[in-house]
Every structure is written in C-alpha cells, then in structure tokens.
Structure 1
Amino acid sequence: MAKAIPRVFTSSYHGLCTFHIMQNAAKHLSPVKDKDNEECEEEDECEEDNEESHILKDFSACMYGFEDKTTFEEAFDIMRSKVRKQTWLDSIYKVKEKWAECYMRNVYTLGVRSTQLSESFNNALKNHLKSDFDIVRFLKHFERTVQEKRDKELEAEFEARKKIPRRLMSTPMLMQASKVYTPAIFEAFQSEYERSMAACSKVLDGNTYGIAIGSLNGDSFEEERIVTCDPSKQIVSCSCGMFSRTGILCAHGLKVLDLINTKTLPAHYILPRWTREACKGNIQDSQGMNNICCNKPAAARQTIPFLLYLFQLVS
C-alpha cells in the first residue's frame, strides 16, 4: 500500500494513523507489570519502572509536541535510551515523515491525523452487509448506507440554515464568520479568535511580528511565533503553519490582521469547503471534467452505480 500510493495518488501525502501508532506504542513500550501489583524488591527496579511509565508520554510528545526537527531527534534519542527492546522504535523511526508533527508541518491534512472517518463508514456498512451477499444485494445495501449519510448531511444543513452559531462577542469578523462558515468550523475559528485576544505582539523588522499567546491567568505564554504580513494585500504568514494544514487562520495571524487594522476576514482565508455554500458550484475531477453528481444539491444527488465507480478508479 505504501509503495502504491505515491504511484497512483501522485499529488497525495501518505500519513500513518496516529491512533493505531499509539496503540502499537502502548503494546511495545509500556512497562510489564506483575499481575499482583507487588512492590519492587529493589529501589533500582522501581526507578526503572517509573522511567518506563513515562515512555508513552515521551512518544506522544515526539508525535505532536515538537515543531523543530533537531529537538525531535534529541527527544527521540533520549526516549530510545530508556527502552530495553528498540526494534519497534527503530522501525517506526524509519517512517517518521508519516507521523511526526515536525515533518508534517506543511502537509494539508485539514486536521485529520487518523483513519477514523473511513473506519466510521466501514462500521456503518457492516450494519447492513453480510459476507454471503451477492452483488445485487450488496449494491442495494450499499446505497442504503450512502443514503443514510446523505440524510444526516441534509439534517446538518437544515440546522445550519435555521440557527446562527453562538458568538462569544460581537465584532465585524465574528459576525462575518458566523454567516459564512458552517457551525463546526465557526466554533474552531472562534476559538482561535478568542486566543488572539490574549496575544502579545512586538515588531521585529518592518512587517514582521513576534506573537506570543498568554494563558487565561496571564502568568505564562506559549512559544513565540513569527508572522510576516503584506498590509496592502492583507496577507499574513505564520511560522506555526496552521492555515496551510487546516484551512483555518491561526490566532497569531488574526492578531497581526488586527494590528494592521483589518477588521474582517479577507476572502483568501475563507476556504469554500468550510462554508455553508460548499455543496454549490462545480467540482472537477483530476482530468478537469465537471463531476455532475457532486454539482447537484445534496437532496438531489443520485448515488453513482458502484461498479461504474470502481471502473473509473481502475481506468
């Protein structure tokens, strides 16, 4: 699968499911405890077990906590020295570009780092499918599953049109975002906007700023980020890379937009896929042809015959 993906999906990035990696880490790195939970007989053994009990936290930090590759390498080497059997660590290290945060900072993941979406659909299929179904019965049950998903989509669309998301404050940017974004995306955006209100800034050089976000009690600050901007084009670029990964502008960028007196969110920071109008307009395939099925409103879409769909994938 790993060899086939770059050949077939040439413009994609193959990442590994972080949930399953952590499951494997717990299996290979967790300390082995006695069934009776007896106390260690020697103090050295207790200290060793205490060290191993923190291995999973160390591994999680390597997966999510380090943005600098050098820092990641140092932390991984320290963690490796605490592990008795290093076979699994060595094998997972070889594919670190597929799971470590510092190697995926510019990967367009939309915040998805696990296979939960596909597994959720697989589970929905299992509710209607049996291994002894013939192809006709399979297609009927497959379409039933797809229809259930579309019904839920219609319900979500109806709720989004009927209700305006709750705003923590009334500002031009939040008013704009609540009308444009879907409720779920607006909540994520509003969280970043709220964080930007607690940010401190300093001018580093011309249109370059250092932005640090304070905690709620104001006694500590997150790591400082470097944000460059072009006031004439209302463009900001942050070292955290959040927008390039998720399509939602980060609190650091929002702070700088406020500093240059930009009170509404520029259009180039509103991705169509996150808006209420995402189902409208034309969607094209890899050959530049309009996808007729996806161009229709959600209520009017018809299920693509599954065999035709498979044929298109093969061809």
Structure 2
Amino acid sequence: MSGISPKTIITYQDVVISNAVAKVFPKVNHHYSMWHIEKKVPEYLNRVYHEHGEFKDQFYKCIHQSTTVEEFDSDWEAMIDKYGLQDNQWLNKIFSIREKWIPAYVRHNFCAGMSTTQRSKNMNKYFKDFLNSSTSLSQFVTQYKKALDARYNKEREKTFKTRNSKPLLRTLYPMEEEASKVYTRKMFRIFQDELVGSQLFITEKVKFSIEVSTYKVREIYKEKPIYYVNFHVTSKEANCSCHMFEFSGILCRHVLCVFIKKKVYCLPSQYVLHRWSINAKKEKVKEVTIVGFQEGSNNASDTSLFNSIMVHSIELSEKGSQPEKHHDIALQSLQNGIAKLDLLDIEESNKKFVDSTSEDMPKLYDVNIALHDPPLIATKGRLRALRMKSGLEMVRKGSSTCNYCMKNGHTKPKCSNLNQTR
C-alpha cells in the first residue's frame, strides 16, 4: 500500500484487538462489527427478548433509524426506561462503546458501505472452493493460483460488460445517463436505485440564506424519519443528515431529491469517487518509497528494487496496451532500456557486492533446500481399532446359523436343503 494506512478498520469487539489497532494504526477509524454485536441480543437479553415481542423492532429502529446522535441517545434512553434495563451490564457496556458501532456515530467515516466483517468471511468461503485443511503444500500453490485466476477472469468479464453494453435506464433525468457512463455497472445500479427512490420523497425549505439553504426531506405520506439536507447555491454542494455519501461514497436519495428540485441535472464531479468509476485502475501509480535506499548505495534489498521496477512496469503495460501506436512506443522504450542494461558491467558490480557481504551472509549454493509437505497430525478422537463395537459387529463372518437345518456357516435363504425340498 506504499506506506498508506487504511482509513477504517472493522473488527470483532475485542479488547486485545482494539489495543493492537490503537498501537499499530493510531490515526485509523476503528469500528466494531455491528452484526456480531446484534446477534448477542437474544443471549444477553433473553427474558425481555422473548416476553416482549415488540422489543426486537424497537431495538432495531433505535440503532438503524436514528439519523443523529441526539436522536439515538433519546431513543436509547426511552427503550431502557420502557423495559427496565438500567442495570443490564451488557447493554451498559455496548452503550459505552457506541462511537465504534452505532450508525449515527460511525457514518461520518468512509467505510465503502460496510458495517461488518462479512467481506472477510466471503473471501474465506470463496477460497474453500479451492482449498481445504488436507491440501498439501504443493497442491496449495496450484490451487491458490487457480483461485486468483478465476477471480481475475470474473473481474475481466464485468469490466467488458461495463464497457461494451448499456444499462437499462429507468428515468428521464440526464443525471442517470451521465452516471451510467462513469460508474461501474454494480455501483451504477446502487446510484440508480437511489435516484429512482428519490421520487418518493418531498422537500420543504426550513432555513435559507444567500449561500446555504436547508431542506427537510421526508417520504410521501410519512412523517418520520426526517432528513435534513444543506444545499450550497453557488458550489452546488449538498450534505445530508443520513451521511450516506460520507459512509459509502454514493449520493443518497434525499440529496438527489433536492438536486432535482433545484434543477441540478448534471452529477457534480466531487460526488463521483474515483474508486467507483470505470477508469479506477488507470490512476497514475504513486512513487514507491524504498526504505534504506539512497542513490549510490546498496542498502535496499533485491525485493524492494524488484517491487519498484514492477510497479512502474505495470503502469507502462496499461498505457501501452491500448492503441497500436502506444504499444510500439512502450515496446521501443523497453528494448532501449534492456540494451542499456546489457552494456553495463553487471558481473563486476555483482562481484563487488558479493565480496563485501560474503563474510556476513551464508553461501546459498552450499545449502541444500528441499521443499516438503508439512507432517501429518493424527486427528482427534478414539482410534479406529479401539472403537467400541456393538454385538452385531462382534459376530464373526461365517458364524451364522441356519434356522432350517440348524447348521452353521449359512443362513436360511441360502440353505441348500431348503432349496432341494422346494
């Protein structure tokens, strides 16, 4: 990641993990997985959860439909008083860490629309189709490559579909057609749903000035929930109390409703995140900082130097793989670079490097490295030979007694005397 730390980290609710994140990423926004907290409600609130059927809905509305911090605190206090949960230690604990998981608190931070660790679980499930606990080390390398190839092929198919087909438009707004040419297909569908959903809302101006106007937005025939949108007349910027754009990077239906009312038919560029656009992978590669590397020194490792060249070669490949003219220029540049490298006295430089480091580094050609599978560990449980058997299993084969002739070694259906009699 070129030394760039993540904006947000989502983990389980765990003290040890929290301390580690605070130590390694002190400036990151650390959130707890909402799903893992909510699934504990039946366990820690067993009595009230089963005795009061409406508690589940009220708990859900308090968490997910509170748009502001003040509204959540008020709804939470009302819920606690209604069901007499003032002394519940678990509720007091999760309320004390509400800044890390309640949507009204965390939606100010960008999370790409995620509030749980579900994406990590999805990746685990994906790789289970290619790997399992008994996969050997040699098979792992092959299967892992197949998994990545399948992932890349699926990505190429979606990219091809986005670039070579047109989605079905559902409105007559020019903003929708413009967004279909900018967003990837999946993100366009999310934006399209918000644009269509904006037609179900009405706006009412509650505060206005020369520069900023505030609108109250609510759904038709419903008094709640109410959202407040601030619209800047000059810059055409807007922000909503639901903070959907800050949280997921897509404009909400409440802002789009105000845009349509104010006749803003073109999507402002500041509301199209580059990561959601078709050209997201064409971003210029940032300079890679190599730790310990200075011109004329040998402090940088071979891996760091290789990574630096690889990053810039990928950028060259992407720019040179489109028109034929670009391809010829990129290929000529590579050939010229290879020719210049061949002229250098590489053997002499390598010899100096080896001589200077031979005292500290072991000779690799003297070390025999063999790659083997890890040792197999016996599974848990009783051994097969020691398993207790039932009476039927203990009967030896061939000790059956015929009910017709009373002889051992066969049963009545296979009795020769009975067959002769018949």
Pick the TM interval, shorter chain.
Answer: 0.7 to 0.9
Query: Residue 214 of structure 1: CA displacement?
Result: 2.6
Write the distance in 1 (CA, Å) between the matches of 2:140 and 2:267.
Answer: 47
Q: 1:172 to 1:208 in 2, by over 3 A?
A: same
The residue aligned with 1:36 is none
Residues 263-304 of structure 1 show CA distances to partners (whole Å, capped at 9, x for unaligned) of: 20011111111112222223548969895597566xx9xxxx
Q: Which amino acid aligns with 1:144?
A: K
In structure 2, what is the Cα distance between the partners aligned to 1:248 and 1:91?
Answer: 33
Asked whether the equivalents of residues 208 and 229 of structure 1 are also in contact (C-alpha less than 8 Å), the reply is yes
Identity %: 25
- What secondary structure sits across from 2:42 in the alignment? helix
The answer for the alignment partner of 1:176 in structure 2 is 178
Where does residue 63 of structure 1 map in the other structure? 63
Contact 1:196 1:213 in 2 (8 A): no
Aligned to 1:23: 39
1:201 partnered with 2:204: yes
Q: Find the aligned partners of 2:43 and 2:313 in 1 and give their Cα distance.
A: 44
The correspondence of residues 92-171 of structure 1 with structure 2, limited to 5 A, is 92-131=94-133, 133=135, 135-171=137-173
Aligned residue number for residue 9 of structure 1 = 25
RMSD: 3.1
Q: 1:213 aligns with which of 208, 211, 218?
A: 218
TM-score of the pair, normalised by structure 2: 0.58
Which residue matches 2:264? Answer: 262
CA gap of 1:222–1:56, structure 2 versus 1, over 3 A, is closer
What is the identity, as a one-letter code, of the residue corresponding to 1:28?
Answer: Y
Q: Which moved more, 1:151-160 or 1:203-212?
A: 203-212
Cα distance in 2 for partners of 1:90, 1:136 equals 51
Compare CA radii of gyration and give the structure with the larger one. 2
TM-fit CA distance, 1:126: 2.4
For 1:12 and 1:132, the matched residues in 2 are separated by 37
Contact preservation (8 Å) 1:195, 1:213: no
| Deviations, residues 92-124 of structure 1 (Å, cap 9, x unaligned) | 223221211121130111211111111111112
Instruction: Check the 8 A contact 2:162/2:184 in 1, yes or no.
Output: yes
Q: Which amino acid aligns with 1:60?
A: Y
Change (3 A) 1:86 1:250: same
CA distance in 2, matches of 1:57, 1:140: 49
Q: CA deviation at 1:149?
A: 1.5
Cα distance, 1:98–1:253 mapped onto 2, change above 3 Å: same
Residue 73, structure 1, aligned to residue 73, structure 2: yes
Deviations 1:139-161 (A, max 9, x none): 43323222221121112112222
Residue 23 of structure 2 aligns to which amino acid in structure 1?
A: R
Q: Deviations over 1:201-235 (max 9, x none)?
A: 325222312132333xxx22444433333333222
Cα distance change, pair 293–272 in 1 and its aligned pair in 2 (3 A): farther
- Give 1:130 shift: 3.5
**Secondary structure at 2:205 match in 1:** strand
* TM-score normalised by the chain length of structure 1: 0.76
Deviates more, 1:110-119 or 1:78-87: 78-87
- Structure 1 counterpart SS, 2:207: strand
Amino acid in the other structure paired with 2:69: K
Structure 1's unaligned 5+ residue stretches are 33-47, 301-315
Change over 3 Å in CA distance of 1:291–1:258 after alignment to 2: farther
Contact between 1:62 and 1:76, CA under 8 Å: does it hold in 2?
Answer: yes
Does structure 2 retain, via aligned residues, the 8 Å contact 1:204–1:210?
yes
CA change 1:49–1:6 in 2 (3 A) is: closer
1:7 & 1:284 partners in 2: Cα distance? Answer: 26
- Aligned partners of 2:158, 2:84: CA distance in 1, in Å? 47
Distance 2:145 2:68 in 1: 46
Answer whether contact 1:5 1:14 (CA < 8 A) is retained: yes
What does the per-residue CA deviation read over 1:180-220, in whole Å, with 9 as the maximum and x for residues that have no partner? Answer: 112221222122222333322325222312132333xxx22
Q: Structure 2 stretches of 5 or more lacking a match?
A: 1-16, 291-307, 322-422
Q: CA deviation at 1:49?
A: 4.9
Structure-1 residue corresponding to 2:93: 91
CA distance in 1, matches of 2:116, 2:288: 25
Distance 1:274 1:79, change over 3 A: same
Alignment check: 8 A CA contact 1:107 1:245 kept: yes
Higher mean alpha-carbon deviation, 281-290 vs 69-78, is at 281-290
C-alpha distance in structure 2 between counterparts of 1:58 and 1:148, whole Å:
44
Equivalent-residue separation in structure 2 for 1:90 and 1:204 (angstroms): 38
Paired AA for residue 17 in structure 1: S
What is aligned with 2:299? none
Alpha-carbon distance between aligned partners in 2 of 1:287 and 1:29, rounded to the nearest angstrom: 52
Distance in 1, matches of 2:312 and 2:152, equals 17
Aligned AA for 2:219? G
Distance 1:68 1:237 in 2: 14
